[in-house]
Amino acid sequence: MSDIASERLERWLGRILGIGAMTSTTLLAAGLALQLVHVRPDAADTLTHAGLIILIATPVARVVASVVDFTMSRDWTFTFLTGLVLAILLGSLMVAVR
């Protein structure tokens, strides 16, 4: 992988992590604020759950972006390894949902 491609991937992954962290933080803070003032408990629960789901999904999105980038770069070793990590994450999710 060239230095330019590596820098592009790092910027892309940084954006994904930053957006995911900011979104989940905002939703969690809004849900907590609504819970503290006892305004709308159902909305507070919804915001809190959405924030937690986004917080958990952010690293998975990072791995998906890595698989896509490595595949586009035709870096098959890293595509395979990152795909394996993605399979483990998705397998863990399946076990957790059951």
**In contact, 20 and 55? CB cutoff 8 Å:** yes
Stronger pLDDT, 2 or 86, i.e. the higher one: 86
Mean pLDDT of the chain: 91
Question: Which tens digit of pLDDT belongs to each residue from 3-50?
Answer: 777 888 889 899 999 999 999 999 999 999 999 998 888 999 999 999
Q: Is the pLDDT of residue 92 over 70?
A: yes
26, two tokens: 């905002």
Q: Is pTM beyond 0.85 here?
A: no
Fill in the amino acid letter for 31. Answer: G
pLDDT score, position 1: 62
